[in-house]
Amino acid sequence: MKDLESLSATQAIKALSKREIRATDLLLSCLDRIGQKESLVRAWTSLGKENALSRAKQLDKGAFQGILHGLPIGVKDLYDTYDLPTAYGSPIYANHYPVADAVSVALMRQEGGIILGKTVTTEFASFKGGATTNPYASKHSPGGSSSGSAAAVADFMVPLATGSQTAGSIIRPASFCGVVGFKPSLGKVSIAGVKSLSVTLDTMGCFGRTIEDVGLGLAAMSGDHRLAKIEVLHNKPRIGICKTSNWSAAQKEAATALAVARHAAEIIAKGTVDDFSLPMACDDLTQAQSRIMLSEMSRSLLFERIHYAKKLSPQLIKQLSDGATISYEQYAKDLLLANHAKTAVAELFTNEIDILIAPSAAGEAPSMRDGTGDPIFCRGWTLLGLPCININVASGPNGLPVGVQLITGPGKDHFLLSAARSFALALPDPTLRDQA
């Protein structure tokens, strides 16, 4: 079997489980690809080649270990790994080796996953871009903060990689890089062993080339193995297009993407799909998310700000300073607003709608000099803690991918995967259907 690095995670696992391919050969194919493209894409902060090869050889000799048996995985450099340096995107932690894996990393290893290396994150998962470029066009951003993970999967360096989202750090880079990104329900995956930016918002997820891939990844990361088996969507779901209150920020290609998405949604809904507005309780979610994030950041990174201020970027220093000016009274008020909004949205998904489709980003990936892109179309969904998945549906004026995100009710991660798979299969472009 040739071009093993081009296999999706699900395809690779099926071949590995039947012993049609060896974990060693798959790993070497991924390493060859990295060798060819890393100087341009710059997705990695470190690679553990020797440990990974040793692990692959061990798995090839033994019994089938778990749902990720023999699969090379990239881990965002925000997650602790005992055998690879974890710098959290900052020079403060250069050559830092944690004593233990993050919980989700340990679970992935237990399921037979091979941790190939650490992928680039922005500084402490904030907004200062890293070295990674967009695999489609090197002068454009891959998004942030999970930039290396999205780019590594998009460029066939690994079939699966972890990410995290506090504002839009899974969905946005997935859209910019044309891969599937899955942000599950808040709390679905343990944040233990992951450098926290905002305890109210931090959500762990992953990137793959197909919906089945991210279901597989989340099944291992969470321990909920139901996610590894996507059920066929039998009923006609109630679907709405939600442009959100931030629609004025959308570019022309975002509107095109929603039009394509509406057509696919009408096929699986077997009827008209109308625009849908969120309850009034959600009116100020974007602003509240931003304040909560900044306020919690200012406390989460207080140690670094006090002791290592000279090693923090001016951009991050300003964010931390802005966060420190937010009163605790305002912070508590925003948390209360979020709770009211969560209650209203939970009722909405129970009584009126099953799936909402919204922009993943304002448009295609911006140029590197313009930063990692605005997470404006993700902030509210992140604060609500809802499961979201990005699917590539169109392209922008520079030919770069443009995605939409499917959103469903709290805790309905398994249903979201089923709906997303049906949605992808209904897309008009046969190439885009491969995301299913």
> What is the C-alpha separation between 429 and 425, in angstroms, rounded?
9
Q: By three-state DSSP, how is residue 89 classified?
A: coil
Does the N-terminal peptide bond of residue 145 adopt cis geometry, omega within 30 degrees of 0? Answer: yes
DSSP state of 369: G
- In residues, how long is the chain? 436
> Is 145 an annotated catalytic residue?
yes
Angle between helices 314-324 and 285-300 (to 10 degrees): 110
Active site (annotated) includes residue 185: no
Q: Which member of 169, 222, 295, 313 is catalytic?
A: 169
Q: Report whether 249 contacts 378 (CB < 8 A).
A: no
Angle at 150 between CA 186 and CA 147, to 5 degrees: 90
d(C-alpha 420, C-alpha 436), whole Å: 8
Residue of 8, 29, 76, 342 with catalytic role? 76
Spatial separation of the C-alpha atoms in residues 406 and 408, rounded to whole Å: 7
What is the secondary structure of 246-296 as a DSSP string? TGGG--HHHHHHHHHHHHHHHHHHTS--EE----GGGTTHHHHHHHHHHHH
- Please indicate whether residue 169 is annotated as part of the active site: yes
Q: Out of 29, 141, 145, 164, pick the active-site residue.
A: 145
List C-alpha distances in Å: 93 to 124, 169, 204, 366.
10, 21, 21, 29
End-to-end CA distance of the chain: 22
> CA–CA separation, 423 vs 177, rounded Å?
19
CA distances, 10 to each of 213, 220, 239 (Å) = 5, 13, 28
Rounded to the nearest 10°, the torsion over CA 219, 199, 117, 121 is: 130
| Largest separation between any pair of C-alpha atoms in the chain | 61
Active site residues: 76, 145, 169
